[in-house]
Structure 1
């Protein structure tokens, strides 16, 4: 029986990106069927004579279609994958027809299409069962849950969500062998344009993806090393910390008529003078309090820290000598809400500019300082004020548990800037820098 297979772009249908659906025209004798491929292309990407998709670089694409979003243009690997899929589709139909012929069974166009649907259903179920990229993310989370703090693996779950949306957007499955330098570039562009997240979150997602690929490689998965050349641009975050004057104001604030905020103030100030994270404040018990120090295994790093008790910490602990717990910690969510209310009451309201980027677009917002203060501000305050009071950086890192000076260095830079501001305030600002 005469079998004819030919691809065509439907000129009568176009989507919002000016792309046309590609269909396969199947002919058996006088019968004709149209089979959707699920692929859409700009006409410029389709070579009808040679029956294949072609690659255009961004310069060439801009010349033929000025309105097309260049960040969505198919990569060379995407074009190769499209052509591979088109060849597979034709071969599947040819194999089905050949099987009928070997069995001496007359077949029609409808029979070929029905057989193809059944074959694809089996294949789809198999692929869904073995969707290895997403399976590996689940495996990573499962294997690391026992040794990681609750919530610390949430970034991997977010990565899975973003990758899933990226896969759906491109209408193609993500395979390990395709995650290379170009994939990172395309994924980053997608996160900027279609997920509405800023560069800080994007950098975190891309760093997480690199960590995940390292895990997959250690588990025997073949990974293309070109992704390592992709440089992740990381924006430096503002360090929100109390000044010494703000801390003293808060510490001495009269809250005799507000027991709720008084307790929140004590817990927050305790963090400011010990450097403890909220998770460690919450796990603090009487047995951790020694005569002149706190001995505690940190929840995040699982390392034991010894923190000297200073006069401020001692004063706060003495307030709760008769209580079961050393300090009155409440839930994290309520604590973060109440600490803003407390700092507003203490008039910690300096205007702070927060700058974020979405791709190359700068977004600047101004907030009163109290609105930016959270439980973690206490730890940042301890680091910055300790450095200002002359404690060496190495000692502060020993107390806070920082093992990486690179991440700690931002506190040093903050105090240098603060020293300049205080010097200028006390002695006057110079007209120009001395060269």
Structure 2
């Protein structure tokens, strides 16, 4: 028996009259049978640029399109795998309609659009329900970001967006659902292994970018913090994740020594106004301990006679920093300006600092060690290559300690809340003291036999 041709016509339409807060529109299926028209939700929400109405399909997220849309939608842009999954869902929905109509046709029964829609609701598979817990964790991360967008710095919330992306990639690769109540020790171990193996090829440079253990540790600790938040919100959380310990690798402290700072201060930049201003702002950080984010927000009202009083952007804590001969002179140089310092964008500032330090001859070899799982990756760079805006704050801490200022006082000036995070600066200065002592007076001879042989020869 030949099947009757399909009498229903269907199209997918993006509802441009309805939009959510991040700019997504619901995608619906419009079903027409014998003059009757019914709208069916697909459960898919898309940005307009991701839907090709003429071809009736979700567009392929190529590198060029992704770069363009990422600038507009940032962390809300769905992954390539997610778009493929949605396209498959649309195809399955269309095939279900074809199957329902074929069944009615074979039975010789009359049917309407309403009857087809009712059967579609009954055919919803358990797979959708199983996926809901995974979607729940992603939705809760979005909710956390939204709740804290006015009380936390953007940088502090960006790590949660990164966590969501990595969890989505893990979900897509392993094909396993991620339930809040099933994240235990085993999941933490599996997720850590996934992050160690994670890598991304940059098409523009053909370079492979991978995550260091430092970044991985941050992701895992953020996941733990998020699960604590979920528990407070009343969600059932598996306590197994608490038993997973996170190994943290400390970053080396890159700071200028006094000779290098002097070389910057003495550098003749009369013919280069751009670098001259960058030098002043950077050295101001070196002699006050201010972060770049606080240099940007510094206003005339914050300067009170011989000190600066402002609320730190990162910690939201009030801070008082006394002026010294260097910082006072730099501020006096820009008395004619509306703002106290000529601060430029962070990226341009970092690029100029590297150029500036290279001109000043700050090029001693620096070893940077990173770990990817158990793999140690060591690279040697000239020092000016690894200097950034944050080096100013580190320079102030290390040089202040070397000049004899007590650690408690330096912490008060820099705004460090606990000694544990500040301790690495103390270790750096102790090592520097030892190196300078041995450089000036010679390293101690550990083997007494060498001393005896030397005496006998004399």
- Tell me which residue corresponds to 1:363: 377
Alignment pair present for 1:201 and 2:215: yes
| Residue pairs, 1:122-133, within 5 angstroms | 124=128, 127=131, 131-133=135-137
Structure 2 CA distance, aligned partners of 1:396 and 1:311? 17
- Tell me which residue corresponds to 1:158: 162
Structure 2 CA distance, aligned partners of 1:361 and 1:315? 48
Alignment pair present for 1:179 and 2:193: no
Once the two structures are superposed, residues 175-230 of structure 1 have per-residue CA deviations (whole angstroms, 9 ceiling, x without a partner) of 01210011111111111123431111100100100110110011111111121111
Structure 2 CA distance, aligned partners of 1:117 and 1:364? 58
Which deviates the most, 382-391 or 120-129? 120-129
Seen in structure 2, the aligned counterparts of structure 1 residues 342 and 236 have a Cα distance that, compared at 3 Å, is: same
- Tell me which residue corresponds to 2:141: 137
Once the two structures are superposed, residues 380-413 of structure 1 have per-residue CA deviations (whole angstroms, 9 ceiling, x without a partner) of 1011100110111111111111002111110000
Structure 1 CA distance, aligned partners of 2:133 and 2:177? 13
TM-score scaled to structure 1, two decimals? Answer: 0.71
**What is the CA-CA distance between 1:150 and the residue it aligns to?**
2.3
Structure 2 residue runs without a partner (length 5+): 1-106, 108-118, 200-209, 449-458
Equivalent residue for 1:330, pick from 341, 344, 350: 344
Seen in structure 2, the aligned counterparts of structure 1 residues 389 and 315 have a Cα distance that, compared at 3 Å, is: same
- Tell me which residue corresponds to 1:73: none
Seen in structure 2, the aligned counterparts of structure 1 residues 349 and 387 have a Cα distance that, compared at 3 Å, is: same
- RMSD value, Cα: 2.1
Alignment pair present for 1:373 and 2:387: yes
Determine helix, strand or coil for the equivalent of 1:242: coil
- Tell me which residue corresponds to 1:24: none
Alignment pair present for 1:286 and 2:300: yes
Note if contact 2:133-2:179 (Cα within 8 Å) is conserved in structure 1.
Answer: no
Once the two structures are superposed, residues 306-344 of structure 1 have per-residue CA deviations (whole angstroms, 9 ceiling, x without a partner) of 100000001111111111111110111100110000000
TM-score scaled to structure 2, two decimals? Answer: 0.68
Determine helix, strand or coil for the equivalent of 2:149: helix
Structure 2 CA distance, aligned partners of 1:290 and 1:245? 31
Structure 1 residue runs without a partner (length 5+): 1-104, 106-114
**What is the CA-CA distance between 1:151 and the residue it aligns to?**
2.5
Q: Paired residues, what number?
A: 322
Equivalent residue for 2:443, pick from 424, 429, 435: 429
Seen in structure 2, the aligned counterparts of structure 1 residues 118 and 344 have a Cα distance that, compared at 3 Å, is: farther
- Tell me which residue corresponds to 2:424: 410
**What is the CA-CA distance between 1:433 and the residue it aligns to?**
8.6
- Tell me which residue corresponds to 1:299: 313
Structure 1 CA distance, aligned partners of 2:300 and 2:154? 24
Once the two structures are superposed, residues 247-298 of structure 1 have per-residue CA deviations (whole angstroms, 9 ceiling, x without a partner) of 1110111111111000000000000011000010001011111111001111
- Tell me which residue corresponds to 1:53: none
Seen in structure 2, the aligned counterparts of structure 1 residues 126 and 188 have a Cα distance that, compared at 3 Å, is: closer
- Tell me which residue corresponds to 1:315: 329
Alignment pair present for 1:240 and 2:244: no
Equivalent residue for 1:339, pick from 353, 368, 373: 353
**What is the CA-CA distance between 1:128 and the residue it aligns to?**
5.1
- Tell me which residue corresponds to 1:170: 174
Alignment pair present for 1:227 and 2:241: yes
- Tell me which residue corresponds to 1:261: 275
Seen in structure 2, the aligned counterparts of structure 1 residues 318 and 383 have a Cα distance that, compared at 3 Å, is: same
Determine helix, strand or coil for the equivalent of 1:353: strand
- Tell me which residue corresponds to 1:386: 400
- Tell me which residue corresponds to 2:232: 218
Seen in structure 2, the aligned counterparts of structure 1 residues 228 and 129 have a Cα distance that, compared at 3 Å, is: closer
